[in-house]
Amino acid sequence: MEPLIELNNLYYKYEDQSDADWAVDNINLEIDAGEFIAVVGHNGSGKSTLAKLLNGLLLPTKGEVMVGGKSTADEEELWEIRQQLGMVFQNPDNQLVANIVEEDVAFGPENLGLPSKEIKKRVKEALEVVGMAEYARHAPHKLSGGQKQRVAIAGVIAMRPDCLVFDEPTAMLDPVGRQEVIETVEQLNREENLTIIYITHFMDEIVKADRILVFEEGEVALSGTPAEVFSRIDRIKELALEVPQVTELAYELKKSGLDINGDIFSIDRLVEEICSLN
C-alpha cells in the first residue's frame, strides 16, 4: 500500500530568508495511514512551516508533498487534499466562527454543499466523538479552552478527513484542557483510525505516538519510537528539549545504580519497577 503522505526532497524558504537559510531543509518522509506521528523541536525549527506545506497553505520551494497520491502543487487537487487533511491550530478562538456550538461544527460540511440531513448527522457524530454532545446548543465563547479546542476538532472531523494535523493545539490551555485535548487526539487515532500529525513542545503528551520526529533548523535531527528517542537523553538536551519528567527520573535512578528496566513513560510504571526491586 502506498503511504498516505510522502515528502520528497522537500525544501521551503520564505521570501525574506537568505540564500543559506531554509525553513524546511530537505525532508524525506513517508507517513502511513493510521500512524500517530509527533513532531517536536524548539521555536523556529520549521514545525509550523511543515504543517502548512502538508495541506498546501504553502507550496514547496523545491521537492514535493504528496497526499493520497496527489501533489499539493497541483491546484486542481488542492480542494480534495484539504478535505482529506484537516488542520487544528493553537488558538481555539480563531477557529470558532458561529454563536452556537452545533452551528460551528456544521460550518465545514455546509461548505461542502452536503444535504442538511447529512450535515445534522455529521455534526451530531462529530460532537459525540469529542465528548461535547451535551454542549451542542451552548455558546462557544462560554466554554473552557479545552472544550473550545474539542469543538474545533469536531468541526474538522465533520469534514471526514483521513488525517489531522495539529499545530501546538494545547499551547494556550491549562493542564485540564491539555489533558482533554491529548486524550481526544489519542482516541481519534485509536478508535476512529485517523492518521495524526501532532506538533507540540510538551514531551509528556507524545509518549503514546508511534513515531517522534525531532526538528532542528528545518531538518529531522532525530526520529524513532518514543522509547528510541527518549533513550537519547543527552542528544535531546543538546537540542534544547525536555524529556518527560518521569523518564528522566528513571534514567537518573538507573545511572546511580538502581536496577530499573525498560522504558519508563508513566509514574505507575516507575512505581512498579521500584517496588519490584529487592
Nearby residues of 108 by Cβ (< 8 Å), 6 or more positions away: 155, 156, 158, 159
DSSP string of 54-108, one letter each residue: HTTSS--SEEEEEETTEETT-HHHHHHHHHHEEEE-S-GGGT--SSSHHHHHHHH
Which residue, chain included where needed, has cell 531543509?
25
Number of residues that bind ligand ADP (CB under 6 A): 12
Of 33-62, binders to ligand ADP (CB under 6 A) are: 41, 43-49
The secondary structure of the chain in percent helix, strand, coil, rounded to multiples of 5, reads 40, 20, 40
Reduce the DSSP state of residue 232 to 3 states and report it. Answer: coil
Over the window 12 to 51, marking each residue x when it contacts Mg ion by CB under 5 A and - when it does not, the resulting string is -----------------------------------xx---
Of 145-204, binders to Mg ion (CB under 5 A) are: none
Choose among Mg ion, ligand ADP, none what residue 43 binds, the Cβ cut-off being 5 to 8 Å by kind. ligand ADP
Residue closer to ligand ADP, measured from CB, 48 or 170? 48
Distance, CA of 217 to CA of 53 (rounded, Å) = 16
Choose among ligand ADP, Mg ion, none what residue 16 binds, the Cβ cut-off being 5 to 8 Å by kind. ligand ADP
Q: Which amino acid belongs to residue 146?
A: G
Choose among Mg ion, ligand ADP, none what residue 23 binds, the Cβ cut-off being 5 to 8 Å by kind. ligand ADP
Residue closer to ligand ADP, measured from CB, 49 or 189? 49
Interface residues with ligand ADP (CB under 6 A) are 14, 16-17, 23, 41, 43-49
Interface residues with Mg ion (CB under 5 A) are 47-48
